[in-house]
Amino acid sequence: MRSFKLLDRLLGRNAEPFVPGAHLSALSSKMEAGQCWIVPEGAVVVPSPPEPKYPEAERIAASIRDFPEDWGWLMKGYKLIHTPSGFVLWVANQDYGLAEVCSNGGKGDFSKVEQAIIWPAVSDWLARNKVGFTGRLPKARIKGRDDAFCCYADGLPWMGVGSSPEDAYRAWRHAISAQARGDMRPNEYLQVRSASL
């Protein structure tokens, strides 16, 4: 829009109907602080949002909140890593505080205000990605023939051996779970082997 048409419209010399907000961008681009401007009647002027005081903290919190799948454990319980960028965040606990982990192993602590911005997003991420203890034993496999059976589970280093599938499972269960050992009979011995051999 040419400037004299804008002035005609602002001064009411033009018969065209004014659409509020339609030409405010042209007007606001010419505005400078400390100058007076005449805004047409009925115009809606919206203040621009304030600049964030802690933009880095707000970007980190927004990333953790909006894209939780981009974050993962670098060191479980202590360090979170933003996988796409390699940014590492120390999150040991809320009392100790949050810090950026530098490439040389040092930490750059965030201020208390920045921590207050980041920590709610971190605690939500931790709650969402927590693997809770269920107390249930993993799914076991039993193999054997005739008078020898063995029981084991993928990822666990112990194998229970017995003369029946029940005996093998019982030996395996007592080997991997201290809670299960509570029902052992006095002077009972179970045959357990390392599955890695």
pTM summary value: 0.45
Q: How far is CA 178 from CA 13, 31, 157, 170, 182, in A?
A: 90, 74, 15, 13, 7
Check pLDDT > 90 for residue 149. Answer: yes
Give the pLDDT of residue 101. 84
Residue pair 157/142 in contact (Cβ under 8 Å)? The answer is no
Give the pLDDT of residue 77. 77
SS3 assignment, position 103: coil
* Average pLDDT across the chain, whole number: 78
Give per-residue pLDDT as tens, 40-85.
Answer: 777 777 777 777 788 888 999 999 999 988 888 888 878 888 888 8
